[in-house]
Amino acid sequence: MPQFVQRSTIDASAEEVYGWHARRGAFERLVPPWEQLRVVERQGGIADGDRMVIELRRGPLRVRWTAMHRDHHAGRQFRDVQIDGPFGSWTHTHRFIPDGPRRSVLEDEIDYRLPYGPLGPLLGGIAVHRTLARTFRYRHARIRDDLARHQRVADRGAQRVVVSGASGLVGQQLTAFLTTGGHRVDRLVRDAPHPGSTDVAWHPERGELDAAALEGADAVVHLAGESIAAGRWTPERKRAILESRTQGTSLLAETLARLDRRPRVLISASAIGFYGDRGDQLLTEQSPPGDGFLADVCRAWEAAAASAARAGIRVVTLRLGVVLSARGGALARMLIPFRLGAGGVIGSGLQYLSWIHLDDVIGAIYDLMFADAVSGPVNAVAPTPVTNAELTRTLATVLGRPAIVPLPAAAARLVFGEMGQALLLDGARVAPARLTALAFAFLHPNLEGALRTETGA
């Protein structure tokens, strides 16, 4: 029977590494961004008899995989065994081996058998081994990086964090990161909260928010807002984009301001659209706002948080760049045409793209939760903005594909209208001046490395 083993030394105790795995959100943090998986059912955690059902997608194919945990030894080991799924058999043993008081060895051992009898290894043996190798390299790096970030502020203790937009691209991974670090996350949700959950009901369009449920929170991270890239900007769509940001932010800020036990900090999302189309001018948080619809939205969005600041809450407005992740957003939409060799430069290719890797967004939010002296705007962008031509060339190189199908500016305007001009043809060269001053440690400061992490290349 084939066996795969991955071992890594982690600068954390065996108990800490085990604890990370035992908490809610670990599976979501461990799934590589290039894999298409979703949890269908979850019963318990990692104790004996607990189980999980996931769905794997490969193009049009859907495969269910049911795994059950057994042989659990707290702080040292647990196993998950395939009950039903794509392999002939599968046993994955997670081991946490002490290597001194502040270090341990993480070992993942997988014993598996491929389907289709003797044909299985011939048809897929090498491919499976390669897939496991790149998956577990990613997983071990993820665990090491997450634990290092948590350790830097371990003296601040477990926090209670309220998150809006928790079902979005950033919110899902932020929530998983926080819970695996031992923090409590209360999500703001529009549906009725599930019995036993700590979710908090809110309906910004009706001005409804359960204020009592927010009492005593340590931090609030506000990420909710209508997508700006979901369709052409009709007058109705533009109104929805603006109101989804200003109504929600105003309601949240005013509610927090009235609490008896207010949070220390409100981190409220904004965007580098604040700066408008600025060519190759290098922009920092001190730069004035630009012109256009997105700049107007961002100014109103940031102003909507003012009531929280007046009440003495430290308010950080996070001006997000283009968040790179294969899980969603701009990069996910680009991958299919580029993999088909149908990618290319948009317009002149000279417009700047100020980007940031998803995990660095999460790290920035986390560091800013504890940066007690920081308030006001913070640019959440990588230190290496690129032009559209540089992005095109780099992504094509990473994927090993040509990029010879340009999208002329006139075609972008014709197909996407005002949205195409603002999102595809305009640009801003933005620097993370305040993050740099904080000595923020970017995991992915360079574009090629970020793209390779996201695509598994």
Domain count, the chain: 2
Beta strand pairing status for 322-324 and 355-357? parallel
pLDDT digits (tens, 9 = 90+) for 290-343: 999 999 999 999 999 999 999 999 999 999 999 999 999 999 999 999 999 999
pLDDT at 195: 80
Answer yes or no: do 226 and 359 share one domain. Answer: yes
Nearest partner of 222 among 146, 163, 181, 166, judged by Cα: 163
Give buried/exposed letters for 92-110 (b at 16+ CB in 10 A, else e). bbbbbbeeeeeebebbbeb
Percent residues over pLDDT 70 in the chain: 98
Answer yes or no: do 238 and 367 share one domain. Answer: yes
Answer yes or no: do 217 and 72 share one domain. Answer: no
pLDDT at 120: 58
Answer yes or no: do 148 and 201 share one domain. Answer: no
pLDDT at 289: 97
pLDDT at 123: 55
Answer yes or no: do 191 and 324 share one domain. Answer: yes
Contact present, 222 and 165 (Cβ < 8 Å): yes
CA–CA gap between residue 329 and residue 326 (Å, rounded)? 8
Contact present, 321 and 381 (Cβ < 8 Å): yes
pLDDT digits (tens, 9 = 90+) for 103-136: 999 999 999 998 867 665 655 668 889 999 999 9
Contacts of 307 (CB under 8 A, 6+ apart): 250, 253, 254, 257
Question: Would you call 11 helix, strand, or coil by DSSP?
Answer: coil
* Confidence tier at 92 by pLDDT (50, 70, 90): very high
Contact present, 302 and 246 (Cβ < 8 Å): no
Nearest partner of 342 among 390, 424, 406, 411, judged by Cα: 406
CA–CA gap between residue 410 and residue 198 (Å, rounded)? 49
CA–CA gap between residue 355 and residue 339 (Å, rounded)? 21
Name the domain boundary from 152, 169, 193: 152
Query: Domain span at residue 358?
Result: 159-455
Answer yes or no: do 393 and 256 share one domain. Answer: yes
Round the average pLDDT of the chain to a whole number and report it.
94
CA–CA gap between residue 64 and residue 222 (Å, rounded)? 34
Confidence (pTM)? 0.95
Distance of CA 231 to CAs 17, 110, 235, 237, 326, Å? 43, 45, 12, 8, 20
pLDDT digits (tens, 9 = 90+) for 192-217: 777 878 999 999 999 999 999 999 99
Nearest partner of 182 among 372, 374, 71, 22, judged by Cα: 22
Answer yes or no: do 41 and 181 share one domain. Answer: no
pLDDT at 119: 63
Torsion angle defined by CA atoms of residues 101, 103, 107 and 108, in that order, rounded to the nearest 10 degrees: 110
* pLDDT average, residue stretch 418-424: 92
Kindly write down the DSSP assignment for every residue of 273-323, as one continuous string.
Answer: GGG-S-TT-EE-TTSPP--SHHHHHHHHHHHTTHHHHHTT-EEEEEEE-EE
CA–CA gap between residue 111 and residue 88 (Å, rounded)? 11
Answer yes or no: do 189 and 143 share one domain. Answer: no
CATH number of the domain encompassing residue 431: 3.40.50.720
Answer yes or no: do 354 and 267 share one domain. Answer: yes
* pLDDT average, residue stretch 128-157: 95
pLDDT digits (tens, 9 = 90+) for 37-90: 889 999 999 999 999 999 998 878 899 999 999 999 999 999 999 999 999 999
CA angle centred on 158, ends 265 and 266, rounded to 5°: 10
CA–CA gap between residue 424 and residue 392 (Å, rounded)? 13
Answer yes or no: do 137 and 170 share one domain. Answer: no
* pLDDT average, residue stretch 432-443: 97
Name the domain boundary from 128, 152, 176: 152
Answer yes or no: do 283 and 137 share one domain. Answer: no
Chain centroid, CA 423 distance in Å = 20
pLDDT at 59: 77
* Confidence tier at 2 by pLDDT (50, 70, 90): confident
Answer yes or no: do 186 and 96 share one domain. Answer: no
Question: Would you call 140 helix, strand, or coil by DSSP?
Answer: helix
Name the domain boundary from 152, 179, 213: 152
Helix axes 388-399, 447-455, angle to 10 degrees: 40
pLDDT at 338: 94
pLDDT at 230: 85
* pLDDT average, residue stretch 362-388: 98
Contact present, 212 and 258 (Cβ < 8 Å): no
* Confidence tier at 101 by pLDDT (50, 70, 90): confident
pLDDT at 125: 66
Chain centroid, CA 214 distance in Å = 24
CATH number of the domain encompassing residue 81: 3.30.530.20
